A = this chain, B = another copy of it.
């Protein structure tokens, strides 16, 4: 992990995001990103635009190279320190892109020999399938990463660029019962599918059930964290963020851009409107209108 990235290469990668550069970038390299308390000479540092003491932080940073926004000045002090400032409109987004481009270890395509893949599974290109994963007769697109010990049932459709983390369980029967004449519980037949759209990320040990008669659908670019339960027939839109341990009961509809905080519970057959926010640990028993924030047990609209 002894990386060394030329500042020139980073500036080149950022392209038109770069507004200006101060200092001499010839033969300057950075080695890593670090949290603020551990920044050293070889760190590519950055200043969060929301900070009020940007100038102070820049002047006191041990780093040689710092990503800043336009409100930071290239003062005489900074100049005397031989620091380099790279000015961009959004330092946080730039550091994130740099991190993903230069510093994370890429997961290379591989199908691990201990993974089981059903002979009728249709699988795309550039797949990573980790150790001890169990893949049924399902359909998987291109550039999908399936981490160790994931289980995918038959009849699941997974589109492109999806990430499925370890221990996730996808596409099994939902939880539905009726009482028969003798008061015994009889299983509702589970005949639907599970469809996962492009760019979805599914967290470790999360369970997503298939539909009963209709399908369970996870929309484009939606991100789901660890240990969530998503029941049969749930339909989730695009760009939704679902934090850890969220429970979504059957047939709930979640529209685009919703944000659900950890450990919230959503009753079945409700609708969470576009852009709504559900607070941590909330117990939602009603429809939530678009763009509203609901919190508490039972959840109520939060007034500003």
Residues of A bordering B, CB below 8 Å:
32-35, 37-38, 92-93, 96-97, 99-100, 103-105, 112, 114, 116, 130-134, 147-149, 151, 153-154, 165-167, 169, 172-173, 175, 177-178, 180-181, 183-191, 201, 203-205, 207, 209, 213-214, 221, 223, 225-227, 229, 231, 233, 239, 241, 243-245, 247, 249, 262-263, 265, 267, 280-281, 283, 285, 296-298
Contacts and interface: CB of A to CB of B under 8 A. Distances in A.
A139 to B, nearest CB: 14
B134 A177 contact: no
A56 B207 CA distance: 38
A203 B207 contact: yes
A244 B263 CA distance: 12
A211 to B, nearest CB: 8
Contacts of A32: 191
Contact of A151 (B104, B148, B169, B241): B148
Nearest to A89: B181
A221 B213 CA distance: 24
